[in-house]
Structure 1
Amino acid sequence: MVTLVSFGNGRTAHRNNPARSAWSWKGVGTISLGSRSETVRSTDTVDLRVPADPAYLAMIRTATAGLATRLDLTLDEIEDLRIAVDEACSLLLRGRSHPGEVLTAGFEVGPPGSGTLSILITGPLSRLPEGQGYAWSVLRALAGEVVTGVGEHGAWIKLTYVGRGDQ
């Protein structure tokens, strides 16, 4: 199975296909420069699609840590995010492989100075396990805001972390 990674920012937004993105285009705005106007992205996005197998969770944890470093977080904050993402992915896989299915992680890094990182993880399950237990406690304690749901492509968990930014 092929692993897909795509990136988007103000310089590469023209390459993104909005129909395939995990994010709405809320981070896109228009700047007017006299008679000229340009569309710019106030956030950067990274979409990562891996096989729905626990063996690939290290890739998502590593991407989380790499993107979190852009927010000038402490090592403890970065590790907390890695753990939260790992727990979210484990919930979406229920600890087992799903051959032929994918696990998608969409990262949205807020504008410089915002300290915001949103992570939307979608898995192959048609519904999430109950909201109780150790994994849910870890998510609520480490990830800031946690929102869940079920869409046409499976169950999803969105984690939004607001760190120190450029304070």
Structure 2
Amino acid sequence: MDPTPSADGTGNSSGVHGGGLRDVVQLTIPAAGAYLTVLRTATASLAARLDFTLEDIEDLRIAVDEASALLLVSAVPGSALECVFSLSPGLMRVTVSVDSLDGEPPSKDTFAWTVLSALAGEVSSSTGPGHRVTIELAKRRGDRADLGEPPAGHVRSRSAEPSELGAKLGAVGTS
């Protein structure tokens, strides 16, 4: 029997793998880079629980780290960073939020946002009451980003295919 409680508090978490229920895990850490390792570890563990591939687990882990780092830049000193993981069969949604000095969400016209979008699949940001800034990520199991064709003249070897992130970063430089 799996002792992990579900979102409804019944202790039945079988919905993650079968019945369509949703589990929610919430972590609150100090808004400081030194604590991001806690979120990276939790992200990898929860994605593995949902049977994500190793590549998808790594993408999610890096995406949560990147989203958190984007928010920490303008975090109120001494505030807390909140991370909520919503787990459904084959889907992980991650919401990261912090009280911000300026209340402005991260710019979507940056290299960091491009990387984040390539890793997570679905990405959005918003500002709530009290300058609370949020980034929400969603990734489906097995859903790899379509990174397009390689640049002209580039030949990919099947045995030495670059990582998805590496391919995306290469495509960004050629646009």
Same fold by TM (over 0.5)? Answer: yes
Q: Is the 8 A contact 2:29 2:80 kept in 1?
A: yes
Which has a greater percent of strand? 1
Q: Does 1:122 align with 2:100?
A: no
Structure 1 stretches of 4+ moved >4 Å: none
Distance 1:10 1:78 in 2: 22
Q: Is the 8 A contact 2:125 2:134 kept in 1?
A: yes
Q: Which runs of 5+ in 1 are unaligned?
A: 1-6, 15-26, 28-39
Q: Does 1:158 align with 2:136?
A: yes
* Residue-pair matches, total: 131
When normalised by structure 2's length, the TM-score is 0.67
Q: Does 1:55 align with 2:55?
A: no
Which structure would you say has the larger RCO, counting Cα contacts within 8 Å and 6 or more residues apart? 1
Counterparts in 2 of 1:50-129, with a 5 A limit? 50-94=29-73, 98-110=76-88, 114-125=89-100, 126-129=103-106
Distance 1:58 1:164 in 2: 24
Q: Which amino acid aligns with 1:86?
A: D
Cα displacement string for residues 53-84 of structure 1 (whole angstroms, at most 9, x for unaligned residues): 01111111111001000121121111111111
Query: Equivalent pairs: percent with the same residue?
Result: 41
Distance 1:10 1:87 in 2: 26
Which has a greater percent of helix? 2
Question: What's the secondary structure of 1:158's corresponding residue?
Answer: strand
Question: What's the secondary structure of 1:47's corresponding residue?
Answer: strand
Q: Is the 8 A contact 2:56 2:142 kept in 1?
A: no
When normalised by structure 1's length, the TM-score is 0.70
